[in-house]
Amino acid sequence: MTAIEPKLTEKFHQDFLNNNKQNALQRSVVKNGISASGESVQGAVNNVPVFSVDLATGKVANQKQSGRCWMFAALNTFRHRMLNTFQLKDFELSQNYTFFWDKYEKSNYFYENIIATADQPLTSRKVAFLLATPQQDGGQWDMIVSIFDKYGVVPKTAMPESSNSSNSRDLNNYLNKKLRKDATILRSLIEKGASAEEVQKNKEAMLQEIYNFLAISLGTPPETFDFEYRDEEKNYHLEQNLTPQTFFEKYVGVNLHDYVSIINAPTEDKPFNKTYTVEMLGNVVGGKEVKYLNVEMAAFKKLAAAQLEQGESVWFGCDVGQSSTRDTGIMALDVYDMNDLFDIDFTMTKAERLDFGESLMTHAMVLTGVDIIDGQTTKWKVENSWGEKVGENGFFVMSDAWMDEYTYQIVVHKDLLTDEQKKAGEQAPPVLAPWDPRGALAKNKKRSPPPSWRGPSFYVGRRTSRISPNVV
């Protein structure tokens, strides 16, 4: 290894002082910050929020200080359908209800993976991966499907927000403390030769404590409830003694298994038109397998635009912190010019960014519009879940070029796929390593300060570890 010699540093220092342009830039960047100094108005000029296809969606929701973007995005797609079908106004489904059951199931998923890896040393990469983050807020589309399949949904009025769902830091801290403590017990039992029945008995006692912890922190999920509302015509409606499952069937009415996850991951290890899954990625044991079909970007955008043209919004995952403004809500490659600011070439290909840890899915949102000119997509309307004070009343504009570089996943109806894509989607998927970028969980939180908000963990955030084994 070669050390830096003082003479070399002195040379760099003198070269900097002798460069008038760099000295001028220093004054601006030191005072105003890097992002503010590198921001260009061109991104806003080139991405006016007007779209040839623009769906009616109502007001945006606010995930606040939590990593529930993937939940909000999924529930928002249901809300759009319900607003139009039942003529509702300012209606939301309960994110707290879904949050409760996701935490509960992720805990069991973690226990099962700890049991499955009990024969491996603590130093094994898989065990270390599990213990790094036993659970977190993030997730992926197929994980939310598993929750909806098992637990249904409820209106926000049936289980309102709580302090700990809106700001999940403390909840995650103490839940992970407990899960790591329980991992020591489970591994010790197995090491001492405990029977499967004894291990299961101990796990059930742990799950009772998990349920109690979540009920104290988030409230108790309703088993039945009444749904009472007035539609936009002021007509009164009341339906009593609904269960979360019957509410989903009647008011959401979507067959979630008719939808498929489409990804664009142009890395050498993931050929296009093939399916993939990730080891130890999930939340509900026995739930829907997390599965992706990898396609080229042109096909990716064609599918997204086709669903929007049919009047249905699109759940999608991206790396939101890359080349985007939080206040004005512009996601465009020309929103900043950092190459010019620093006279440094930061350019990497999409594949290089994935392979070298520079990018992955950190956040999930909803596509609610697209601008199509002469048959070509030019920009996209994005419904975020950070409240109305960011972007245009909470909506962002994503350039077509930005989508090419930083969008990784969409969820579309399988009827939109070509015959070739359907056939590829039916293939048995190879299993990727738990730490593969595809396992990232979408989880970016709404924060008060401007960037950086890129998290560690495609749980939509970067996964230092996913939920457990589980996925911005």
Which of 143-157, 260-274, 304-318, 448-462 shows the lowest per-residue confidence on average (mean pLDDT)? Answer: 448-462
Can 18 be counted among the known catalytic residues? no
Counted domains in the chain: 1
**30: in domain:** no
Residue 445 falls inside a structural domain: no
Residue 327 has pLDDT above 70, yes or no: yes
Give tens-digit pLDDT for 383-394: 999 999 999 999
Q: What is the DSSP string of 53-102?
A: EE----S--B--BSS-HHHHHHHHHHHHHHHHHHT-SS--B-HHHHHHHH
What are the distances in angstroms from CA 280 to CA 67, 333, 391, 398, 416?
20, 34, 36, 32, 29
Q: Is 237 considered catalytic here?
A: no
Rounded to a whole number, what is the largest CA-CA distance in the chain? Answer: 81
Q: What is the mean pLDDT of residues 184-205?
A: 98
Confidence category of residue 459, pLDDT binned at 50, 70, 90: very low
**Are 406 and 323 within 8 A, CB to CB?**
yes
C-alpha span between 442 and 319 (Å, rounded): 9
**For residue 338, pLDDT beyond 70:** yes
470 pLDDT higher than 80: no
Tell me whether residue 182 is in a domain. yes
Catalytic residue among 47, 69, 164, 264: 69
- Tell me which residue range forms the domain holding 431: 43-280+287-439
Residue 22 inside a domain? The answer is no
Structure confidence at residue 3 as a pLDDT band (50, 70, 90): very high
Is the per-residue pLDDT at 472 higher than 70?
A: no
Q: How confident is the model at residue 468 (pLDDT cuts 50, 70, 90)?
A: very low
Look at the alpha carbons of 405, 403, 414, 142 in this order and tell me if their dihedral is positive or negative: positive
223 has a pLDDT exceeding 70: yes
Give the CA count within 13 Å in the CB-facing half-sphere of 90. Answer: 2
Which residue in 260, 220, 251 sits closest to 92, CA to CA? Answer: 251
> How long, in residues, is the chain?
472
Q: What pLDDT is attached to residue 462?
A: 36
Confirm whether 24 is domain-assigned: no
Nearest to 144 by CA among 283, 255, 260: 283
Joined together, the tokens standing for residue 12 give: 């760099």
pLDDT digits (tens, 9 = 90+) for 50-87: 999 999 998 999 999 999 999 999 999 999 999 989 99
pLDDT band at 257 (very low <50, low <70, confident <90, very high): very high
User: pLDDT tens across 293-305, in order?
Assistant: 999 999 999 999 9
Catalytic residue among 108, 264, 283, 363: 363
Share of the chain above pLDDT 70, in %: 94
Given a cut of 80, is residue 463 above it in pLDDT?
Answer: no
Q: What is the CATH number of the domain that holds 244?
A: 3.90.70.10
Tens-digit pLDDT profile for residues 129-148: 999 999 999 999 999 999 99
pLDDT computed for residue 205 by the predictor: 98
Instruction: Decide if pLDDT at 111 tops 80.
Output: yes
Among residues 46, 294, 384, 444, which one is catalytic?
Answer: 384
| Best CA proximity match to 407, nearest among 451, 432, 370, 373 | 370
Report the chain's mean pLDDT, rounded to a whole number.
93
pLDDT value at residue 443? 82
The predicted model gives 351-376 an average pLDDT of 97
Q: What is the pLDDT of residues 97-109, one digit of tens each?
A: 999 999 999 999 9
pLDDT, average across residues 435-464: 57
Q: Is residue 32 part of a domain?
A: no
Q: Is 85 part of any domain? A: yes
pLDDT band at residue 469 using 50, 70 and 90 as cut-offs:
very low
- Binned at pLDDT 50, 70 and 90, residue 446 comes out as low
Q: In the prediction, which pLDDT does 457 show? A: 36
pLDDT confidence of residue 447? 52
Query: From residue 229, how far is each of 155, 207, 239, 331, 459 by CA, in Å?
Result: 11, 36, 9, 37, 35
80 catalytic residue (yes or no): no
Domain contains 455: no
Q: How far apart are CA 37 and CA 31, in angstroms?
A: 9
